[in-house]
Amino acid sequence: MPMVMNMNRFCKIGVFGAFACMAFGLMPPLAKADDQVDKPYDWVIQIQTRRLERQFEYKNSKLNPIEKLEVLWYPTKDENKKTEYQYMYYHDGKPYGLEKLHKLDIDAGDGVAIEVKHKDNNPSEAEKKDAANAIFRLALDSYLHKNPLVAVKVPIDSFNAISDRLIEFGFHDSKDDGDQIDQQNTFKASMTIGLFSVPEGKHISLVR
């Protein structure tokens, strides 16, 4: 069922809550508050892409090269507490295998962010396609586990390729719905991905 969110009401509650906390001395220390602004989610699901040079390396092979995506998660407050989730295997953006390592032990209701990293500083275009596919799959995972997807962070040099690939999967820029939001004061979507570049500089809100 599509999600419906009253944007103005949400903003008013957030602002009122912040002032109420300040008035009654309930605001956390400044450093912690800043951390929550920067990372308003409980867990990070991290994807690291890398190219496997010698897999399926034989004459007339159509699967070479293979890209491996290592997926893990960790609590926002402690990146050292990493749990391996699964390995995904791709060829030029197409999934070919999945190795499940652990179930997703994140409590329902906890917010998550997806973070993409490349092992090579100069990733192939195939790795960027793979990352977009993995983002879509992990976004579905988070929705099924009732974990709000707060943000998706990708390297700035991969931002355009990943956003373009997600659009190929049926997403579109939420700005295209601007008139509808203004008239009805509501926003409807079956899935929303807020894509942010690292370092900062690019952002797009994709809906489907």
CA 43, chain centre distance (Å): 11
pLDDT at 155 over 80: yes
Q: Determine contact, residues 64/56, Cβ cutoff 8 Å.
A: yes
pLDDT digits (tens, 9 = 90+) for 82-130: 999 999 999 989 999 999 999 999 999 999 999 999 999 999 999 999 9
The number of helix segments (H) and strand segments (E) in the chain equals: 5, 11
Q: Which of 10-14, 61-65, 159-163, 166-170 has the lowest mean pLDDT?
A: 10-14
Please report the pLDDT score of residue 31 as a whole number. 35
Q: Tell me, what DSSP letter sits at residue 56?
A: T
More confident residue, 184 or 197: 197
More confident residue, 11 or 183: 183
Looking only at the bridges linking them, the beta strands covering 149-155 and 192-198 are parallel
Q: Determine contact, residues 85/102, Cβ cutoff 8 Å.
A: yes
pLDDT digits (tens, 9 = 90+) for 5-43: 443 433 333 433 433 333 334 333 333 334 444 689 999
The pLDDT confidence band at residue 176, using thresholds 50, 70 and 90, is confident
Share of the chain above pLDDT 70, in %: 72
Tokens standing for residue 28: 């956390």
Instruction: Report d(CA 145, CA 138) in Å as an integer.
Output: 10
Q: Determine contact, residues 107/65, Cβ cutoff 8 Å.
A: no
List Cα–Cα distances, 169 to 63, 83, 114, in angstroms.
22, 29, 18
Q: Among 208, 116, 140, 132, which residue's Cα sits nearest to residue 164? A: 132
pLDDT at 1 over 90: no
Please report the pLDDT score of residue 61 as a whole number. 63
Q: How much is the average pLDDT of 129-157?
A: 97
pLDDT at 199 over 80: yes
The pLDDT confidence band at residue 165, using thresholds 50, 70 and 90, is very high
Mean of the per-residue pLDDT values for the chain?
Answer: 81
